[in-house]
Structure 1
Amino acid sequence: MLFRSTTDADLDRVIAVTVDEPIGWIPADRYLEELKEGMYRPEWTWIAEDGGRIVARALWWGQASSEHPIALDCLHVDPSVADRAAVAAELLTAGLRAFAEQDATKLPLYNVTLPNGWREDPAVVDALTWRQDAALAAGLTDQVERLRLEWTPDAGLPASSGRLTFTEGTDDEFLDVFRRIAVGSLDAETRRNVAAMGAEATAREEVDFYLGCPGERSWWRLARTPDGQVAGLALPSATPYNRNVGYLGVVPELRGRGFVDDVLAEITRVQVEAGAELITATTDTDNAPMAAAFARAGYRTARTRMIYSVPEAADTAAQAPAS
């Protein structure tokens, strides 16, 4: 079996692949549109061929400005293959190895979108199981379950207590607040990054990430108490598809006072005033306080995502130059 990235000559066969499972499907029209925009690319699209027939396909995605892919959007192996997980694992391994050899600073994660209540649907569980087995076998062993939330105008603007004011800030001020917020965070990725590289490097990575998002730096705000003390930060942002919450947090010494509701209300207000009819957000299922804050603000759970990624230490090792 041959595992390789595609070329322009493979396009018709790539988009002819169909998925008859309830997850893992990227429609041909979306793939073609985002291929034009550089969010899918032939070199990020990998296939497994058996006798010249495509039996597996992996579609990695990135932003139009990305040098390397950010996430795996779609993984499919034809049902005729006896061991779908094994073939998928080989395909993932080949792609991830290639990205590491191309000096990707961070290997892409695998993002599987699931419907609400997915554990009660045997077809969804079966479809996820072999994909999960493949991800784990390929080294994507850090696993997080994350809620995908949405706010729409019918929910109404969330109330603010008025206890905080929101001001602009310098890059150094935002970096400092990011660093403080990272300590004691309940977000799985933040905790993992802090453990692997410390709060300072984690903060720098977060700032760089949000500077690279489609949102504007001018939207960022520091939250302050009436006496001018920094309470946290509010980062309205955007994806290539929607306005989103971006990032928010409260500094450790002021947590537990309900300030998170004010910060989230501010982000929502900013997005609505800019004309947003849909605001998206994500949070880990294990981060119960944040999920509760979203619920209070009128954000509803639209779907669930399972996210698989390479552990930070292994990721670094994979990228290290040969000695």
Structure 2
Amino acid sequence: MLFRSTVEADLDRFLPLVTVDPASGMTPEKYRENLADRQYRPERTWIAEDGAGTVLALAVWWGGSDEERPAALDGLFVHPSLGTGEERTDLAARLLGAAHTAFAATGPNAPPEYHVFLPGDWHERPEAVAALTWRREAARRAGLPAELERLRYAWTPQDARPEPARLLAFEPEPDDGVFVGLFHRTLAGSLDSHSLKEAAELGAEAQARADVEFYRTFMRGERSWWRVARDADGEVVGFGLPSRNHAFPVIGYLGVLPEYRGRGYVGEILGEITRILLAEAAPEEIRADTDLGNVPMAAAFERAGYRNFARRLVFSAT
């Protein structure tokens, strides 16, 4: 079996493997769209082919159009001739492992995460569980054993508009250092798994700087949208980062400082982010994610009229 990245001439050979199921919404048309704007690339698309040249498995990584390293595995497919048992899982795992080895030779050793988008009720749907199970096991064998489940939310202008803030006032803050400090301070007692994991690896200060850099350079929202929240006494109590990704305006990040939690501030910061995105991005839809275990944030989204429409599983090395 040969495992390799693709070239342009392979396109019509591997696209027939791209089929929609409950654990993958990728279509051939969507692949072509993302290929055209360089979010998918031949070198980020890997195949397994047998001695006769038949493509038996396909893995597609996504990344920013101006980024050299893939950010996340976006799709994993195996030819139906391999059935639904161990042979399918084994081939998928070996394909991922080969690609991970190649990626590590040109960048960080940790392989890119694998993001799987699932229906909100996937736990109760046997067909969704089946579509996920072999992919999850292949990812585990290929070095992505850690798993995080996130809730996906959406809000449209037809939904209830956020009420004016009563408790907080918001202002722009041009100094990135202020936001580094706020990210750092909000880590204490945070329920955000990603931030806590990265802080444990990098240190809290380095993680805070990395967060600011991420929203500054990788995300597509305007820096001028960022806000600091102050209470009636003029004290900084939190912050909000409206942003956008490659497809939607998003709730980038919001934080309440530990000593001010439990006072209803999270809802007002969320409302301010929503208002800014409405005014600045003219969205048809605003998207947001939060960890399944972050119950206060999920409750805030639901109070604000955001609808939990799906879930995201993130598989990672740690």
Class of the TM-score when normalised by the shorter of the 2 chains: over 0.9
* Match runs of 1:20-169 below 5 Å: 21-51=21-51, 52-81=53-82, 82=85, 83-104=87-108, 107-169=111-173
Residue 312 of structure 2 is matched in structure 1 by 305
Residue 298 of structure 2 is matched in structure 1 by 291
Residue 316 of structure 1 is matched in structure 2 by none
- The alpha carbon displacement at 1:20 in A equals 5.8
Note the alpha carbon deviations across 1:116-151, whole angstroms, 9 max, x for none: 211111111011000000111111122100011000
* Match runs of 1:200-219 below 5 Å: 200-211=205-216, 212-219=218-225
Note the alpha carbon deviations across 1:61-115, whole angstroms, 9 max, x for none: 0111112111111011123225211111111111111111111486321001111
Secondary structure, aligned partner of 2:198: helix
Q: Distance in 2 between matches of 1:184 and 1:199?
A: 13
Q: Which runs of 5+ in 1 are unaligned?
A: 312-323
% identical aligned pairs: 48
Note the alpha carbon deviations across 1:291-315, whole angstroms, 9 max, x for none: 000000000011111110111xxxx
Moved more, 180-189 or 55-64: 180-189
Moved more, 291-300 or 73-82: 73-82
Q: Distance in 2 between matches of 1:98 and 1:270?
A: 42
Residue 179 of structure 1 is matched in structure 2 by 184
Q: Distance in 1 between matches of 2:198 and 2:248?
A: 26
Q: Distance in 2 between matches of 1:192 and 1:202?
A: 9
Residue 188 of structure 1 is matched in structure 2 by 193
Q: Does 2:273 correspond to 1:267?
A: yes
Amino acid in structure 2 at the alignment position of 1:244: V
Q: Distance in 1 between matches of 2:22 and 2:80?
A: 14
Q: Distance in 2 between matches of 1:303 and 1:21?
A: 14
Asked if structure 1 preserves the Cα contact closer than 8 Å seen for 2:20 and 2:26, the reply is no
Equivalent residues, number:
311
- The alpha carbon displacement at 1:25 in A equals 3.8
Give TM-score, length-normalised by structure 1. Answer: 0.93
Q: Distance in 1 between matches of 2:288 and 2:20?
A: 28
Q: Distance in 1 between matches of 2:241 and 2:20?
A: 39
Q: Distance in 2 between matches of 1:18 and 1:215?
A: 31
Q: Distance in 1 between matches of 2:63 and 2:109?
A: 13
Secondary structure, aligned partner of 2:158: helix
Moved more, 154-163 or 191-200: 154-163
Q: Distance in 1 between matches of 2:243 and 2:294?
A: 21
Asked if structure 2 preserves the Cα contact closer than 8 Å seen for 1:182 and 1:202, the reply is no
Give TM-score, length-normalised by structure 2. Answer: 0.94
Q: Distance in 2 between matches of 1:299 and 1:78?
A: 38
